[in-house]
Structure 1
C-alpha cells in the first residue's frame, strides 16, 4: 500500500504541532547568522524560508531590535535570496546575493553572487562589486572604510578581467575537465578547481549614492565608462592582495580594525598529500604577507584581531596521530609577527569553538561545548593584559541549558548578542547582560547569567513532547549522559518505544537544534528519542575523547549500550520495542551495533562507513583518515567484518554526491547485507532490508522534497519493524 501522507500514528487531539506533518515541518522558517553594527544600534540576521515550488529554500535579511522593544522587520526580498550580512564602519549594510542587478541590462541572464550595499540612510540596495565567478566572504573593517571579499579565479588569470575571458573560452568550448597538481580534488559534495579563491580589498569611501552605472564591457571598448577610464564611483575598485594557489581553501579571515591588515588562515602542503592551515597577515595596501603562526604539529582557525590592532586570538588544534586525539586550545600572537605564539588557558579542559574580544581588550569571549550544551565563557587577562605572560581566568558566563553561536560584543561592552539554540528550540536571537556579569564580582567569583530572548523574526515551534536528561556510569567508572525527548502522554501506563539516535562527527555533541536530524518528528509519532554523547563526544574533557580514539568499536559502542540500558529502565520506556539509527559516524556506529547485538528491532544507517580499508583512500580528505587509524586499527574496527552476525532488518540510506563517505560504502554494504548477512535475500530476491538511494543528494540530503522522503521512508521502516504496522510509503517513490 502506498499513499502520500504524513499523518501521525497518534490521536488527533495530540497533533497540534508542525512536527506531526512533514509539509508543515519543512516549511518552518529557519534563522542563522548575526551581524552587529559598529555603534551597536542595529542587529541583522538571516531567515530561510521555503520557496513557492517547495523544492528549495531562499534567504532574506531581517533586522532585530537590540533593545528587544521593536518587532523584527524584513530588509530584503528576492528569489535568489541574500546572505553574509556585514556592517560597514559608516553603518551601511553589505551582503551577498545572486539576484539580478536592475542596472546590468537584459544581457545579464545568469547573474553571479555579487556584493550589494543597503545604505544606512535608507533607499534601495544596489550592486557595488562583481566578479566573473561570483563573490563571497565579505569582511568590513570596524574603524575604516575598507572591505574585503573573496572570489574564485582561474589559476592562470592575472586579474578578474582575464578570468572573465578564460571562463568565456572554457564555456564556449564546453570544457569541464580539471587538471590537478595536488590534493585534495573533492570536498564534501563538489569538485575542487579549476578556480581557486583569492582575496580582494577595496575602499568604500568613493562610492556615491546614485544608481549604478555599468562597468566597462569585457571587449575592452570604452562603452559607458567615465572619461578618465576609471571604475565608476558606483562600483568598488577591487584590488587583488593574494595570488594564485589553493592557500585560501576553506579559509577563515578577518580585517584589523583600521583595515590595514587582512588576517587569514593559509593552507600549506604537508608530506603524504596532506595539508595544514597556518595563519598569515596580509597588508591590504601592498599585498605583502607575513606568517604569524606556522606550527608543524597543529592547525589554526577562527582568527580575531584585538580592538587596538596589536594581537590576534585564534583557535588551534593539534595534528592527530592514530594514538593521540587532537587537543584544541586558544592561541595568542602579536599582529606584528614578533615573538612566539602563546597558548592561553592550557589547563582549561574544554575545546573552544569561537573567540571574540572585549572592546577594551581586557578579555576574550569564547564558546565551547560542555556537558551537552555550548555556553559562552569569559577569559580575563591578568593586570598586564594580553601578551604579558600572566595567568588567565576562565569563567562560564551563561547559565542557559543551550548552545550559543554567532556571538557579537556590543561596542560599549554592556552586552553580548548571539543566537541561542538547544534541542528545546531552534536558533533565536538573544541578549546577554555582560555588564551585569562583570559588575557582580571579581574574576572567578561571578555567577552565570541567563540570556534574554529578543523579538526575533521567527517564533519557536511548539514541541510534541518534553526534553529531559539521562545519565549512567559505565563499567570503567565514566559518566555518560544523553538528552531524552519524550512524547506527550508517555508514562508507565503508556510506555513509548525507544529510538537510539547516534550523532555523527565523531568529535561532536548532541547540543544544538538540527533541522536535518530532528528528533521531534519521531517524537510526534510516539517514539522516545535518546540522544547520547558516547566516548569521542566533545564537551566532557580530553580524556573522554581519548577513550574512544582509534578504537571506535570499543568505548563508543559500550557507552551507547550502557546509556540505552539506563533509558530502558525508565517507566516511560517500552524496552521491548527499540530501534537504532545514525548518520556518518553515527551510521558507522549503527553498522557496528548491527553486527554486535540483536537487541534492536530495526536499524537505520545513513551515509555510513562500512569497510574502513575501502573508505580510507576514497574519502575526500584521505590524509585525515591516515591520521585517525593505522591499517591494523581500521581492520579491527571495520563493521564489514561482522556482516554474518547481522540479524536485524536494516535501512541503508546514501547520496551519490557524498564525497566524505563515498557511495561505494553504501553499495558494498547493500550487496553484503543481501549476500553475506545473517538475514540474506531469499532465493526470489526478496529481503527485509531496504536501500534508499538519492542520485543527486550529498552527505546530508538537503533539498526539502528529499528530506521529506527521507523521513517518510525512515518512519515507514520503523513502523513496520518496531510498531508492527503496515508501512505507508509516499507515492513520489512510484
Structure 2
C-alpha cells in the first residue's frame, strides 16, 4: 500500500477510529484466505463487518466479497471450499428470520444464500468432513426450538420484559441471563436443524465453547451447572449425535473447571483447558491438556510462561498454541503425544490461528504495540535461528508512521524485574520535556502487548504526552508466579511496581515529572481510584469503569461468586476492606478526577461510579462552580466504549481534561462540543 494511503494523523481521533480493523482470518483446504474486516458506519453509530479475499502469497491487494448494511462475520470454509459466514442481512428468498443472524454459504462462483436460520439466531461452531455443521442458538426460557418463533412473537407484541430468576448468575458483561436458554443444534448439508441439547436450562450452555468431531459423530461442549453458595461449575460433556446421548467426559470439581474443547483431526482426543479455582491465596491458573476420548492418562502441555490465548490442531500429532509472553506474545508448536513445545515465533501477539490446507503454514492476525492486527502467513518449517518470519498479507487498514518512539523499559522492584512500554513524542527534548501519563491496565490479568483501538496511547503522544504502560504484578505472560504476585488484588503491590517504573523513566531530562496524569480502566480504574486516596503526585486522574466501594461491587458484579470466594465478606475481613476499598480513602483525594462509566456495565456496575461521584461532589468544601471533578456517563455503553461516536467523545474528553489540569489548558466546556 502506498504510504500516502495509510493513516498518519493521530491528532484526528475520528479518523483513527474509522480505520478498517481486522477481526478474524480463515483458511480453506484449497489454499484460499478470507478475513473479516470491521469499519465504522457513516454516522459512527456502530462497527460493520465485511468479508475480504486475501492473497495468501502477500502479493495482490485484498478484494471485498460481501456488502450489506447488517454486515458479515465469522468466516469458515466448508469441505468443498465454499465460504460459510454469519449475517443478519435480508434473505432474498424471505425464508430466514428477520433481524436474527443466519448461516450463509458463498460458493467460489455464484451468489450467497442462506443455509439455515432460527428465531434466536445461529452461530457456527464446527464443520464436519461431510458438510454437517454445529451451531449455537437460543430459545426463550422454558421453550423449545419448534415453538420459539411463536413464543418470541407473543412476548414482543405484549412488550413483556420480565425475567424469572431461580439462581445465579443473572447477568454477564452487558446482557441479562435467564431470559433465554442457549442450545446446540446440528445443521445438515441441506439446512435442516436438529436439536442436540433439549434438556439444557438457561445456564447449561451459557457462553459455551463447543466443537464437532471431524466425522460429525460427536460434539464436545462445556456444560455449566449451578452449585450451592451461588457458585457454578463447568464440565466437559460429550454428546453422541446418533443416538442423541450426553455424558460427562471431564467432571468439574471445587478445585478445577474446564473450557475450550477441540477435537483432534482423528477424533480420538480433545485439547482442553483446565482452570483451577481462585482462592484468597492463589489466583486461577490455566493448564492445557490433551485427553483421550476413550479414557486414559492425559498429556500435559508445557507452555512455559505463556498465558494461553487459543489453540488449533495442525494435524493428528501437532497442536498450535498462541498466547501472551513477556509483554509480547508467542506461537508454540506442540508435540501432541509428549506435550513438549517449541517456540515458532515470539515477537508479537498472534490470534485467529488458521492452519493452511497444505500444512506448510498457519495464517494469523499479528499485532504489537506499534501495529494493529494485520494478516500474516507463518511458515511452519523454520530454518536457522530467530523463529518463523511472518509474511505480511495485504489488507485494508494499514497504519503509517507513528507520532513518537516506542521502547521497552525495566527496573528492579524488591528483586523482581518489572517492565513496561514507553511511548515518547518525537518533539520531546531537554528544552521542552514532555508531560507524562501513567496508564494501568485492566484485568488484573492482562498485558500491554498489542495495539488497542479503545485505549490507544498514540493519540496522547500526538498531543505531546509521553505514555508509560507497565506490566506489573498479576500481568499475563509471566507464568503462574507472575499472575499470583500481588494476589488477591493487592493495590499497594501493584502501585509500588508501577511507581518504581514511573520514577525510573522520570530520570530522563526529556520527560517532565512535574506535569503528570494517571489513567486506568476496570482493574486499572480500581487502581486509579485507590491511588487517588494514597498519592497527590498527579495533576489529573482519569478512571474508567473503576471499582470504588468493594463491599458494594463484590456482591453486585456479574462475577459475584468469584469475588466473594476470594475476598470474603466485609464483616469477616474488615481490615482488608478498609485498606483496599478506595471509598475508605475518599477524604484524602485532592487530585482532579474524571470518572467515566457505561450504564450497561454489569462487570463493574455503574453504581460504583454513582457512589464515587456522590462521595466526591458531596464532600467538596467550596462553591459548586469550583469543583474540579467531572463525570462522563455513557448511557448505552457497557464495560468498554464500543460505539465509534462515543469513543470519539471519550478520547476527546479525557485528553481535554488532562490538558486542562496537567498543561494549564482551557477548561472542558460544560456542554461537550464533540
Q: Name the TM tier (shorter chain).
A: over 0.9
Q: Could you say which residue in structure 2 is the equivalent of 1:353? A: 309
Q: Could you say which residue in structure 2 is the equivalent of 1:227? A: none
2:520 to 573, 582, 586: 582
**Alpha-carbon distance in structure 2 between the residues aligned to 1:662 and 1:192:** 15
Alpha carbons 1:613, 1:635 under 8 Å: kept: no
* Pairing 1:671–2:638 present: no
Alpha carbons 2:306, 2:330 under 8 Å: kept: no
Q: Deviations over 1:239-290 (max 9, x none)?
A: 0111231211101112111122111111122321111221122123332112
Q: Deviations over 1:351-394 (max 9, x none)?
A: 222112222x222211121111111112225xxxx2xxx5x422
> What is the SS of the residue equivalent to 2:553?
helix
Q: How many residues align?
A: 661
**Alpha-carbon distance in structure 2 between the residues aligned to 1:249 and 1:536:** 27
* Pairing 1:641–2:641 present: no
Q: Could you say which residue in structure 2 is the equivalent of 1:111? A: 99
Question: Could you tell me how far 1:653 is from its partner in structure 2?
Answer: 0.8
> What is the SS of the residue equivalent to 1:23?
helix
Q: Could you say which residue in structure 1 is the equivalent of 2:12? A: 21
Q: Deviations over 1:512-571 (max 9, x none)?
A: 111111111111101011111110111112222222101422211111111111111123
1:524 to 462, 468, 472: 462
**Alpha-carbon distance in structure 2 between the residues aligned to 1:493 and 1:733:** 33
* Pairing 1:133–2:120 present: yes
* Pairing 1:265–2:222 present: yes
**1:364-403 equivalence runs, <5 A:** 364-381=319-336, 386=337, 390=338, 392-400=339-347, 402-403=348-349
**Alpha-carbon distance in structure 2 between the residues aligned to 1:472 and 1:261:** 51
* Pairing 1:312–2:270 present: yes
1:60 to 43, 50, 60: 50
**1:648-663 equivalence runs, <5 A:** 648-663=591-606
* Pairing 1:421–2:421 present: no
Alpha carbons 1:374, 1:511 under 8 Å: kept: yes
**1:272-287 equivalence runs, <5 A:** 272-287=229-244
**1:292-331 equivalence runs, <5 A:** 292-296=249-253, 297-331=255-289
Question: Could you tell me how far 1:139 is from its partner in structure 2?
Answer: 2.2
> What is the SS of the residue equivalent to 2:148?
helix
Question: Could you tell me how far 1:727 is from its partner in structure 2?
Answer: 3.2
Alpha carbons 1:140, 1:148 under 8 Å: kept: yes
Alpha carbons 2:127, 2:134 under 8 Å: kept: yes
**Alpha-carbon distance in structure 2 between the residues aligned to 1:723 and 1:675:** 27
Alpha carbons 1:51, 1:58 under 8 Å: kept: yes
Q: Could you say which residue in structure 1 is the equivalent of 2:545? A: 607
**Alpha-carbon distance in structure 2 between the residues aligned to 1:189 and 1:544:** 29
Q: Could you say which residue in structure 2 is the equivalent of 1:362? A: 317
2:111 to 124, 127, 137: 124
1:450 to 367, 386, 389: 389
Q: Could you say which residue in structure 1 is the equivalent of 2:3? A: none
Q: Could you say which residue in structure 2 is the equivalent of 1:38? A: 29
* Pairing 1:186–2:141 present: no
* Pairing 1:171–2:161 present: no
**Alpha-carbon distance in structure 2 between the residues aligned to 1:178 and 1:364:** 43
**Alpha-carbon distance in structure 1 between the residues aligned to 2:7 and 2:16:** 12
Q: Deviations over 1:295-317 (max 9, x none)?
A: 31112222221111111111222
**Alpha-carbon distance in structure 2 between the residues aligned to 1:661 and 1:620:** 8
* Pairing 1:470–2:470 present: no
Question: Could you tell me how far 1:327 is from its partner in structure 2?
Answer: 1.8
* Pairing 1:687–2:630 present: no
> 1:539 and 1:302, CA in 2 relative to 1: closer, same or farther beyond 3 A?
same
Alpha carbons 2:29, 2:79 under 8 Å: kept: yes
2:211 to 238, 246, 254: 254
1:333 to 284, 288, 291: 291
Alpha carbons 2:233, 2:252 under 8 Å: kept: no
**Alpha-carbon distance in structure 2 between the residues aligned to 1:150 and 1:109:** 15
Q: Could you say which residue in structure 2 is the equivalent of 1:9? A: none
Question: Could you tell me how far 1:342 is from its partner in structure 2?
Answer: 4.2
Q: Could you say which residue in structure 1 is the equivalent of 2:140? A: 154
Alpha carbons 2:301, 2:341 under 8 Å: kept: no
Question: Could you tell me how far 1:685 is from its partner in structure 2?
Answer: 5.4
> What is the SS of the residue equivalent to 1:18?
coil
**Alpha-carbon distance in structure 2 between the residues aligned to 1:535 and 1:490:** 30
2:427 to 465, 489, 492: 489
TM-score normalized by the length of structure 1: 0.87
> What is the SS of the residue equivalent to 1:145?
coil
**1:562-577 equivalence runs, <5 A:** 562-577=500-515
Gaps of 5+ in 2: 1-5
1:88 to 51, 69, 78: 78
Of Structure 1 and Structure 2, the greater strand share is in 2
Question: Could you tell me how far 1:340 is from its partner in structure 2?
Answer: 4.6
**Alpha-carbon distance in structure 1 between the residues aligned to 2:545 and 2:344:** 37
TM-score normalized by the length of structure 2: 0.94
Question: Could you tell me how far 1:16 is from its partner in structure 2?
Answer: 8.2
Alpha carbons 2:55, 2:62 under 8 Å: kept: yes
Question: Could you tell me how far 1:623 is from its partner in structure 2?
Answer: 0.5
Question: Could you tell me how far 1:718 is from its partner in structure 2?
Answer: 0.3
Alpha carbons 1:315, 1:353 under 8 Å: kept: no
Gaps of 5+ in 1: 1-14, 207-235, 441-445
RMSD, aligned CA:
2.0
Q: Could you say which residue in structure 1 is the equivalent of 2:352? A: 406
Q: Deviations over 1:380-437 (max 9, x none)?
A: 25xxxx2xxx5x422221142x100011222332111110001111000001111235
Alpha carbons 2:264, 2:313 under 8 Å: kept: yes
Question: Could you tell me how far 1:458 is from its partner in structure 2?
Answer: 2.7
> 1:635 and 1:335, CA in 2 relative to 1: closer, same or farther beyond 3 A?
farther
1:597 to 535, 542, 551: 535
Alpha carbons 1:594, 1:603 under 8 Å: kept: yes
Alpha carbons 2:325, 2:346 under 8 Å: kept: no
- Report the more deviating stretch, 608-617 or 54-63: 54-63
- Report the more deviating stretch, 603-612 or 293-302: 293-302
**Alpha-carbon distance in structure 2 between the residues aligned to 1:531 and 1:562:** 13
**Alpha-carbon distance in structure 2 between the residues aligned to 1:123 and 1:462:** 40
Question: Could you tell me how far 1:729 is from its partner in structure 2?
Answer: 4.5
Q: Could you say which residue in structure 1 is the equivalent of 2:89? A: 99
Alpha carbons 2:22, 2:38 under 8 Å: kept: yes
